Amino acid sequence: MAYVDYPFMVFQQIESPWDKQVFNYVVIGFGIGMVVLTILLWPVSAILRKHYGKPLSLGTAARKWRLLVRIVCFVDIAYLAMLLIIVTALDNPGGLGARGDLLLHTSQLIGLLGGIGTLIAILAAIKSWSDAQQWFWYKLWNSLLAIGCAGFFWFLVHWHLLNFNLNY
């Protein structure tokens, strides 16, 4: 434990590994990275499949799960965009408060939808491993994306970013 000369501040070491800065950076970085790469590489893979004449060989159920997972990724990106808007509103003195409550609650609702979407990503990963028609790397990507979505949602819950009580 460290102390400063001023009696208003006491520094304490963090005991929980979940609260360590490096761990949290890895979790949130991996989660955001997987979501953003999934969205960015979606059209790239379509262009490459078209160029090489290899159509997407997934069944109708697998295509549905694939689309649902992409929607989950868009929901997570929408939450990040709303969070960025809220953080930039902190520079404006009137940005938060009674006028900003709707913005905060909307972002929290989008984050909650992303959490429900995490279950969809996990189910899609499980279903992809049971499908013998799918490529190994596609199954692996689905699994990593599900882990990334779960880590992203864990970060939001752990740091109370989805707390619907506005106490300020």
6 within some domain: no
Quote the pLDDT of residue 2.
54
| Predicted confidence (pLDDT) per residue in 132-160, tens digit | 888 898 899 999 999 999 999 999 998 88
14 within some domain: no
34 within some domain: yes
pTM of the model: 0.82
Dihedral, CA atoms, 14, 18, 20, 23, nearest 10 degrees?
Answer: 170
| Predicted confidence (pLDDT) per residue in 96-132, tens digit | 667 678 888 899 999 999 999 999 999 999 999 998 8
88 within some domain: yes
Distances (CA, A) of 123 to 34, 50, 99, 142, 143: 17, 28, 39, 10, 10
Residues 6 or more apart whose CB falls under 8 angstroms from that of 133 comprise 57, 58, 59, 62
1 within some domain: no
168 within some domain: no
Q: What are phi and psi of 3, to 5 degrees?
A: -125, 150
- Higher-confidence residue of 93 and 150: namely 150
Residue 59: which domain range? 21-158
Burial of 151 (0-12, 13-18, 19+ CB in 10 A): buried
13 within some domain: no
139 within some domain: yes
Number of domains in the chain: 1
Quote the pLDDT of residue 115.
94
Residue 165 — pLDDT band, cuts 50, 70, 90?
confident
Mean pLDDT computed over 41-53 = 90
